[in-house]
């Protein structure tokens, strides 16, 4: 369900940010555009993110910090489906690899966005 929401949500928000959508190029420029979109949406949610070459990184997950989650990793995976759906709407030829770690210091999250 979350992936479908991401698919539908991307087009309108990308246009609001003056970013392309449904580009179907699968190239480095498309990967950079999606990384910018993802970083902007996460910042709008109050997250602190860093954008590197083909990667968006986040330390902590403010959106969930006050929640009592029965299974935080599964909750993250469900939330992450929003961004995977949005990536498919942006450019179905991109590859998005998510890494997440919940340790003693909290969350360490990264999305690697690359051409296929």
**Per-residue pLDDT for the chain (116 aa), expressed as one digit of tens each?**
899 999 998 999 999 999 998 899 999 999 999 999 999 999 999 999 999 999 999 999 998 888 888 999 999 999 999 999 999 999 999 999 999 999 999 999 999 999 98
Q: Please tell me the total count of domains within the chain.
A: 1
Q: Which of 71, 58, 48, 64 is nearest to 98 (CA)?
A: 58
Instruction: Determine the structural domain holding residue 101 and report its residue range.
Output: 2-115
Looking from the CA of 100 toward its CB, the CA atoms found within 13 Å total 15
pTM, whole model, 2 decimals? 0.92
């Amino acid at each position: 369900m979350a992936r479908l929401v991401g698919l539908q949500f991307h087009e309108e928000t990308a246009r609001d940010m003056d970013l392309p959508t449904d580009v179907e190029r699968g190239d480095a420029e498309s990967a950079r555009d999606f990384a910018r979109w993802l970083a902007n949406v996460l910042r709008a949610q109050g997250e602190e993110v860093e954008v590197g070459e083909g990667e968006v990184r986040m330390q902590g997950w403010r959106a969930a910090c006050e929640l009592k989650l029965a299974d935080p990793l599964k909750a993250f995976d469900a939330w992450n489906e929003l961004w995977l759906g949005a990536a498919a709407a942006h450019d179905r030829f991109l590859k998005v690899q998510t890494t997440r770690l919940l340790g003693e210091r909290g969350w360490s999250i990264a999305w690697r966005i690359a051409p296929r």
